[in-house]
């Protein structure tokens, strides 16, 4: 059961968001990708927010596994590997991505009435 935590979907999502902020340059890199996703999904005066958010969420998940999982720190089997897997399974990547997409939409000056959800 997921419980909201500090305005996020759950503790795991909040925690990943916190860790993203701790890695120098990572938030900027994600924001740049968010702007690319927004630009790719803005056609004919309509912005497909759902597709942009879904694409960024996938990017975020892959990036976080790359940044935070190393061979030295992440077991490949056993109870700790299961616990890490369960932790990642609880993260609502879409929620994190949506925050970056919303910031990108604002910075790029896209009219809210153009957003198709």
- What's the pLDDT at 65? 86
pLDDT digit string (tens) for the chain, length 117 residues: 558 899 999 999 999 999 999 999 999 999 999 999 999 999 878 999 999 999 999 999 999 988 887 656 666 678 877 787 788 889 999 999 999 999 999 999 988 788 887
Domain boundaries, the chain: 11-116
- What's the pLDDT at 74? 62
Burial class (CB in 10 A: 0-12, 13-18, 19+), 10: middle
For the chain, the C-alpha Rg in angstroms (whole number) is 16
Q: Going by C-beta distance under 8 Å and a sequence separation of 6 or more, which residues neighbour residue 35?
A: 104, 107, 108
Instruction: Specify whether the CB–CB gap between 8 and 14 falls below 8 A.
Output: yes
């Amino acid at each position: 059961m997921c419980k909201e935590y500090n305005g996020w979907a759950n503790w795991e999502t909040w925690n990943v968001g916190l860790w993203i902020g701790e890695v120098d340059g990572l938030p900027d890199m994600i924001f740049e990708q968010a702007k690319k996703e927004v630009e790719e999904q803005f056609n004919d005066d309509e912005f497909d927010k759902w597709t942009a958010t879904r694409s960024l969420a996938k990017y975020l998940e892959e990036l976080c596994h790359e940044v935070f999982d190393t061979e030295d720190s992440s077991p490949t089997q056993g109870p700790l590997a299961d616990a890490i897997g369960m932790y990642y399974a609880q993260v609502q990547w879409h929620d994190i991505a949506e925050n970056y997409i919303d910031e990108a939409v604002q910075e790029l000056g896209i009219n809210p009435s153009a957003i198709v959800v």
